[in-house]
Chain A
Amino acid sequence: MAEVPKIVRERLRSQAAADEHPDANLLSAFSERGLTEQEREQVLDHLSRCAECREVVALSALPQLEEERLVAAAAAGRASAGASRSWWRSPIVHWSALTAAALVVLIAVGERVRLRPEHSASAPAIASYEPAEKQTALAPATVPAPPQQKQPQKLAETAKPPRRAQAFNAPQPMGAVSGRKGASGDRVATGSATGAGIGGHNLLPPAALPMKPHANADAAATTTDGPAFESAGEQAQAKAPPAPSAAAKASGGVSAAAAPALRTEGAALSEGRSASFTKRAFLGPRWGVSDSGDLQRSFDSGRSWKEVTVAEGVSFRAVAVVANDVWAGGSGGALFHSADGGEHWGRVRVQANDRTPSGDIVHIEFADAQNGVVATSTGESWRTSDAGLTWRWQ
């Protein structure tokens, strides 16, 4: 990052704001992108000269995961529009396919050259397929080792990432990459929703309606209204494949949450998609719950597991994974969500009006990042269509 001359820092620091500060209403509306352009300019001008108010805005910022959920919910409308477009028309898919095809050809040619003395008469189709298989099978050994599991993090710490420590292009778990690129249409739709949300532009109110409040935060505040979100979620759900079961107990005392993703990938393969996508799904972390109620993650296809500390005092009973989104639930109706492959976690409040889950969460199913169901030990079923922002009890 380009440095500025020290005199610039010093003069910036010495610019003092007047003694009148924007009140909590304006600061919160600023953070929620609820001000008119003129008001926003005024607040920004003040903030640029008032370290104290900058601190207030930073301290009162939503925890990152919660904000991402709000952004995702705001983008739900566009996601449904995006889902109506054919996913294969996305330029990302086009370029990915071209790159993959070029790689396959290059590897095939290289392998043919290497094997020419023994297999000079090999059929081109076989020669081009086998090296691809070989390469993907060897990939785990060549992939850099995943970072060590971080120390247990309190939920409060997720509110603010360490300063300057957050990499601009943070490495993503391999499973997330393969999940998004290689998944079927619903995942692509989810990816587009997240992508739109990351940009954050969807949070800005329409220019023609400067006074209009944010649809996303309104949805957060009301549990009964919000037909736009409802219809978007249902539309996405209608297009989504049946939700996989994620919490089936596997031998060794863990539930293999990665399995549904693999089954989905397998279905994609049967439709004639590239085999490399399926293989790469194995490189992602697997998630499970131990018999003692600990959440666990494996980076080596289940050979070894490491405990992931999410919250004290919660005995986990179910976990589900969709691309980079991990959902874990357990005792007392506790539900947690990570949007970054388990690096940071936030607690999700499952409630509708005044009602909350009456038992432990024993089953979680998410068809995509938005649509999911959790079931409790008392037979309750809670459904969300907006990535856990609001819930419907059934």
Chain B
Amino acid sequence: MSGTVQMPGSVAGRIRASAAADLYQHSHAADVGLSEQEFARILGEIATKHLPAGAKESDAVGFCRGLRLEELALARACAAGHERAWELFLTRYREKLYDAARSITREDSSARELADSLYADLYGTETREGRRTCKLNYYTGRGSLEGWLRATLAQEHVNRYRRRHRDVSLEEKTEAGAQFAAADPPPRQAPDPRLVEATDAVLAALAAEERFILASYHLDGRTLAEIARTLGVHESTISRKLEKVARAVRERIMDELLRRGMSRRQAEEALVTDVRDVAVDVTARLAQKDGTSAFYRKSSD
């Protein structure tokens, strides 16, 4: 191949043929039946999706080099129906898929069901507009294929859990004792709006990682070790950060309350108010922030 390779999409633009050939060679795509043109098209789609408009050729090449090229080639070759690719995929990932499902569901039969379901999606048993849709087409090589499989399994598991709980019939709820539920609690005392405003302001000013640590520990009940593993740091680091953020949040809320006209004693009393006395307008909070546009809807996956 000579000159340049046209990668589809406005972002990737044109990259040197030598660089494209190098990427193709590193991916071992030929071993699983993908041609250089097919692979260039795939890289172009992914680069267009992730790189900003007007990205330089060097950025596109650097980005592509950062992808899991071999795993990407394998996944896309499977999606294209190449038999050799499926053999390799099954050899490398079948057991891992079931192991991951087992670690997610903690129960063998559910794990098998979950893994089989994903396997069917990966193989592409459904057709759309006359074409077989294969979930492996959504793998972009940003992380490892194994990690993507685990994340996809986990998403499916969470979706199933949500569907199952949404679809519980009234009879089942009755059997579960819902009719014996306590009567509605008496109306709560509205909290001082200054406390809510102050808290929201302080939380909004925290770094994303600090909010993540707070939420993981105080809302989800994750251990320090679990949070540390997620963030790739030692748990002593999380411990220190958690202590520091908790102290800072309290002090800053106090400052905010004082600035909003409360006395120190009033502020301290407000902070120890039982949260059951605080009516939270969740609906209003749902519209608090817009999500970033860099993400893709789960339905596309």
- Chain A contact residues, CB within 8 Å of chain B: 1-35, 39, 41-42, 44-49, 51-52, 54-64, 67, 154-157, 159-166, 168, 198-201, 203-204, 209, 211-213, 217-218, 220-222, 347, 349, 354
Contacts and interface: CB of A to CB of B under 8 A. Distances in A.
Given A7-B271, A44-B211, A60-B151, 9 more contacts: A11-B200, A14-B280, A25-B151, A44-B209, A47-B208, A48-B211, A59-B158, A157-B106, A217-B147
Given A11-B196, A164-B221, A20 B296 contact: yes
A59 B246 contact: no
Contacts of B123: none
B158 A163 contact: no
Contact of A28 (B142, B220, B298): B142
A9 B148 contact: no
A24 B214 CA distance: 23
B142 A7 contact: no
B225 A166 contact: yes
A144 B282 CA distance: 51
A14 B246 contact: no
Nearest to B287: A16
7 nearest A-B residue pairs (beta carbon) = A18-B291, A211-B66, A28-B147, A28-B143, A48-B211, A6-B275, A29-B143
A25 B145 contact: no
B105 to A, nearest CB: 8
A253 to B, nearest CB: 32
Contacts of B80: none
Given A7-B275, A51-B219, A211-B62, A28 B151 contact: yes
B189 interface: no
Given A1-B243, A8-B199, A58-B230, A46 B223 contact: no
A24 B155 contact: yes
B151 A47 contact: no
Interface string B215-255: 11111111111101111111110010011001101100100
Contact of A48 (B151, B208, B224, B229): B208
Given A34-B143, A60-B153, A199 B233 contact: yes
Given A8-B203, A211-B62, A46 B295 contact: yes
Contacts of B223: 161-166
11 contacts: A2-B243, A4-B250, A5-B199, A7-B191, A7-B278, A12-B219, A15-B289, A21-B298, A61-B226, A166-B224, A166-B225
A5 B142 contact: no
A220 B162 CA distance: 33
B286 interface: yes
Contacts of A26: 142, 295
Contacts of B288: 15-16
B68 A24 contact: no
Contacts of B281: 14
Interface of B: 62-63, 65-68, 70-71, 91, 95, 99-100, 102-104, 106, 111, 138-148, 150-155, 157-158, 162, 191, 195-196, 199-200, 203, 208-209, 211-212, 214-226, 228-236, 239, 242-243, 246-247, 249-250, 253, 270-275, 278, 280-282, 285-286, 288-298, 300-301
A32 B150 CA distance: 12
Contacts of A42: 292, 294-295
Contacts of A51: 215, 219-220
B158 A56 contact: yes
A14 B282 contact: yes
Contacts of A52: 158, 162
Nearest to B206: A48
B143 A12 contact: no
B278 A10 contact: yes
B301 A23 contact: yes
Contact of B218 (A4, A32, A60): A4
A157 B232 CA distance: 21
A6 B272 CA distance: 7
A32 B151 CA distance: 11
A54 B217 CA distance: 11
A314 to B, nearest CB: 15
A58 B195 contact: no
Contacts of B298: 21, 23
A61 B235 CA distance: 16
B271 A22 contact: no
A106 to B, nearest CB: 30
B196 A24 contact: no
A168 B236 contact: yes
A12 B285 contact: no
A168 B235 CA distance: 8
A12 B150 contact: no
Contact of B226 (A17, A58, A60, A200): A58
Of A7, A162, A217, most B-chain CB atoms within 10 Å: A7
Contacts of A2: 242-243, 246-247
A166 B246 CA distance: 21
A23 B138 contact: yes
A186 to B, nearest CB: 24
A83 B65 CA distance: 31
B154 to A, nearest CB: 4
Given A15-B285, A59-B154, A166-B223, A217 B234 contact: no
B197 to A, nearest CB: 10
B68 A28 contact: no
Contact of A159 (B62, B103, B218): B103
Contacts of B274: 6
A29 B142 contact: yes
B239 to A, nearest CB: 6
**Which of A32, A51, A354 has the most chain B CB atoms inside 10 A of its CB?**
A32
A221 B146 contact: yes
A209 B297 CA distance: 28
Given A23-B296, A198-B234, A200-B234, A163 B155 contact: no
Given A2-B247, A9-B218, A48-B211, A32 B200 contact: no
Contacts of B146: 220-221
